[in-house]
Structure 1
């Protein structure tokens, strides 16, 4: 008599082996994903808002120091590359360095081509959260991240099956507490909308049982 495991295996449809992305597919994903994230940064900084994760820390540091966001974002990511190399492997970290570099460049160049005559902070926050969340999903599904807390979140998702979005949400709570000490409290509250949207998009769409390893 067949046991329950055999019956379950017989009922499950055969899944084809995963097909790796080609270099061209990775390239277009990194360009699209980082461009969307750079647009999100531009929306936030144009409205005087902040966001979570390493990008939010870079934005906050740029407000305080006057140094460009791209410089801070690139520098803040450097320590996390060691963790990414150990936990996620050299292929992941090389892709991540490429994605981080692209975002740093796009964030520096985009303000020269896009400006806003009128930008409601609530709309800016919501749109920034949406485009950043989708940009991150594109990058994640091509075996990379935007470094920093994103690397830590992906490592914890791979090792402990904790969704990346929830890990990042915890970091965001600490970051926003610090932002209240530096920025206009109203703008920080408005910024929470975008941060929640980013993390919800990642939590709902970047699931281990659906997409990781495919």
Structure 2
């Protein structure tokens, strides 16, 4: 009973954030993009094109076209992800239907593309952080990713390039280009929402002046770091390695510090996900 209660409590925030994300997604589409014939990618983009041609309500069409992908996702990906995705699609399909009579805020297509892209990106990012998705094509991409040499991002990009190219023949290629603007803005906003503005970067520094660099990082960035012993594969010589985790906003300053002390230092940078207080500022270990 306690386990079920815990599971329910952990689900409530997900449901809330999916509803919030779906509401923002609906607003971005119906208040900004669709009134200006700027479309989104994926199943929603296909639905917008079909709805324009055959006059079927967009909310109903979006849900119907996603159903086969839910079945596919349930079989190949898992129950939780599919259910949360289904719930998000139901929510924004309802949101689109409710907002359909509401006139667009602006007829300036550039403003609509920019702000529509931002709001759509916020909505999708919140839904993804809650564990769901907004589109059946992403389910297909996840399945194909396991079978093809292409990455998940490349597969989604291919789908959306095809959809936006098709939109060019329907709405005009100027609208398709504005759709691309909205699409890439949305992608960037999704990245910020999902990964956070304070996205962590793991930095490996190999330098003979490792002590000076370590002291400067701790003093000027207030960051803890780890000192490692390494061995070169070619010369079999021992090398000193610094490993530090910083936010992406601190990368420029870190590079400047390293360059001041040792411009020949080898530096590698990669995105990392961190947990716990060990990597907070001033946590020296």
Please state which band the TM-score falls in when normalised by the shorter chain.
0.7 to 0.9
What is the CA distance between 1:23 and its match in structure 2? 2.2
Verify: 1:123 aligned to 2:111, yes or no.
Answer: yes
With the length of structure 1 as denominator, give the TM-score of the two structures.
0.78
| Distance in structure 1 (CA, Å) of the matches to 2:131 and 2:169 | 36
| Distance in structure 1 (CA, Å) of the matches to 2:169 and 2:45 | 15
Q: Contact conserved, 2:165 with 2:176, CA < 8 A, in 1? A: no
| Distance in structure 1 (CA, Å) of the matches to 2:159 and 2:106 | 31
Q: Contact conserved, 2:145 with 2:152, CA < 8 A, in 1? A: yes
Structure having the higher Rg:
2
> What residue in structure 2 maps to residue 32 of structure 1?
20
1:178 corresponds to which of 162, 166, 172 = 166
> What residue in structure 1 maps to residue 183 of structure 2?
195
Deviations 1:4-33 (A, max 9, x none): xxxxxxxxxxxxxxx987222012111111
| Distance in structure 2 (CA, Å) of the matches to 1:51 and 1:187 | 11
| Distance in structure 2 (CA, Å) of the matches to 1:117 and 1:90 | 38
What is the CA distance between 1:162 and its match in structure 2? 7.2
Q: Sort the Cα spacing of 1:96 and 1:120 in 2 relative to 1 into closer, same or farther, 3 A.
A: same
Q: Sort the Cα spacing of 1:67 and 1:175 in 2 relative to 1 into closer, same or farther, 3 A.
A: same
> What residue in structure 1 maps to residue 132 of structure 2?
144
2:44 corresponds to which of 55, 64, 72 = 55
Verify: 1:70 aligned to 2:133, yes or no.
Answer: no
What is the CA distance between 1:179 and its match in structure 2? 1.3
Q: Contact conserved, 2:106 with 2:112, CA < 8 A, in 1? A: no
Root-mean-square deviation (CA, aligned residues, Å) is 2.9
> What residue in structure 1 maps to residue 100 of structure 2?
111
Q: Quick check: which one's strand share is greater? A: 2
> What residue in structure 2 maps to residue 133 of structure 1?
121
| Distance in structure 2 (CA, Å) of the matches to 1:33 and 1:55 | 15
Q: Quick check: which one's helix share is greater? A: 1
Query: Per the alignment, in what secondary structure is the counterpart of residue 100 of structure 2?
Result: helix
Q: Sort the Cα spacing of 1:162 and 1:35 in 2 relative to 1 into closer, same or farther, 3 A.
A: farther
| Distance in structure 2 (CA, Å) of the matches to 1:209 and 1:161 | 23
With the length of structure 2 as denominator, give the TM-score of the two structures.
0.60
| Distance in structure 1 (CA, Å) of the matches to 2:93 and 2:36 | 19
Structure 2: where are the runs of 5+ without partners?
A: 1-5, 196-270, 275-285
2:71 corresponds to which of 74, 79, 82 = 82
> What residue in structure 2 maps to residue 167 of structure 1?
155
> What residue in structure 1 maps to residue 34 of structure 2?
45
| Distance in structure 2 (CA, Å) of the matches to 1:129 and 1:154 | 24
| Distance in structure 1 (CA, Å) of the matches to 2:38 and 2:44 | 12
How many correspondences in the alignment?
Answer: 192
